[in-house]
Amino acid sequence: MPRFARTVIFTLLCFDLFSAAAQDTSFYAKHAAILFPYPMYREKWRSSLGLTLLTTPQDITEEVRLRIPCGDFRLLRRINDHFIIDNRVMFQFLQNHLSTGLHFMLPVNKHIYFSAGDDIGYWFGYLKISGFNSQGSGWLNYPNVALGYKTKNNLLISLRAQVSFNLYYKAANGDNKLSSSTSYYNGETFTIGLEQPFYNKRHLTLGLSAINNYFYWQTWSLFYKTNRKIFYPQITVALIL
């Protein structure tokens, strides 16, 4: 199917999404969320704990396809009706990633919500076993926007688009060091999120991400920046605490 035709079909399908949304009966309720562009109304803090799992590109990482799941802790701090600070710790022992960012959030109407923000991330890793004597670290910047749709049955659907810029990285293998402070455009990530009540009073976050990057921090020990974007599908499952 030609690329243009696919793009047109997608555009029409997405029109359908929001045409359908326009017919919703009015419904207003508070909701509990982490990924959703407007995650909370009056609470000051919200947190979630979960796991992310991604697969690595087979042609590069070959038979090492699955990494161990990565722990994912998020902590939101609401500043006022329109601003929130989003903090995130992704931990995987050999490598870890911390990020924080300010997000502007806006309820467009009772069902549509919007946010835009910019996060700064820092990753670091150590590998000193089995012939490895390596360490690495770096800084990234993640501007992002998100759109959310709230159904009348507490189902929150989020669509998030994020780009990343690699600001700085350094790596060392034994006595050999490598570093670069040249920032470059690293790629983009698209995430679809579903959040809803799950069990008793617990709410569940499900996210499916399409990461398309030159460099991704979880594969730092296998290879540094590649000269083509690598596609990493990633799933996130988390419980809102």
Partner 1 sequence: MKKYFIIPVFFCLFFSCQKKYEVVMPDTATWSMFNDPAALPLTPASRPAMEGVYTLSKGNDIFGDQAAIKWSHTSKGSDTTYHVSGFFGKDIAYFICEGKQLNGSILLNGYWRKMVSTETGIVHLTISAANGAALLLGPGPVITPGSIVIDGFFGTGSENPGTPITLSYIRKLNNSPASFQIAAHRSGGRTSDLLPVSENSVAMILKTPEFGSTGVEVDVRFTKDGVPILYHDNTLNLREVQKSGLVGPIEDYTYDQLSTFVRLVHGEKIPTLREALDAVVYQTQLQFVWLDTKYTSSIAPIHAMQLEYIQKAAAIGRKLDIVIGLPGKDQFNQFLNLADYKNVPSLCELGANESDQINAKIWAPRFTEGTQNELVADEHTKGRKVYVWTVDEPAFITSFINDGHFDGMLSNFPSCVAYNYYVHQ
Partner 2 sequence: MYTSKKTYLLLVLLALLAVNSLLAQSNVKIDSNKVWKSFVLQVGGGIGSYTTVVHIKPPALSGSVKRYSPVGTLRLLWYPSYRLRMGFETGYTDFYSYKVKNAGKEGSLHLSAVPLLFVFSMQVVRRVNIYAGLGAYMETTHLVYDGSVTSKAFVLGTNIALSYTYPFSSKLSIVAEAEWMNAYDSKDAALNLQAKLAWRFLRWQ
Cβ(157)–Cβ(134) below 8 Å: no
> Pick from partner 2, partner 1, none: which does 59 bind, CB < 5 to 8 A by kind?
partner 1
CB of 76 to partner 2, least distance (A): 22
Beta bridge partners of 49: 73, 239
- Any contact of residue 183 with partner 1 (CB under 8 A)? no
| Interatomic CA distance for residues 201 and 45, integer angstroms | 17
- Any contact of residue 134 with partner 1 (CB under 8 A)? yes
- Any contact of residue 190 with partner 1 (CB under 8 A)? yes
Which burial class, exposed, middle or buried, applies to 75 when counting CB atoms under 10 A from its CB (0-12, 13-18, 19+)? middle
Nearer to partner 2, 10 or 185 (CB): 10
CA 214, 173, 95, 169 torsion-angle sign: negative
**Total interface residues for partner 2 by CB under 8 A:** 38
> Pick from partner 1, partner 2, none: which does 77 bind, CB < 5 to 8 A by kind?
none
CB of 13 to partner 2, least distance (A): 6
Cβ(116)–Cβ(144) below 8 Å: yes
20: number of Cβ within 10 Å: 10
Cβ(191)–Cβ(207) below 8 Å: yes
- Any contact of residue 116 with partner 1 (CB under 8 A)? no
Out of 49, 94, 98, 147, name the contact with partner 1 by CB under 8 A.
147
Nearest residue to 222 via CA among 173, 188, 179, 186: 173
Out of 68, 155, 208, 210, name the contact with partner 1 by CB under 8 A.
210
Cβ(156)–Cβ(38) below 8 Å: no
CB of 36 to partner 1, least distance (A): 15
Contact positions vs partner 1 (CB under 8 A): 3, 6-7, 10-11, 13-15, 17-18, 58-60, 62-63, 108, 112, 114, 127, 131-134, 145, 147, 159, 161, 173-176, 178, 188, 190, 210, 212, 223-224, 227-229, 231
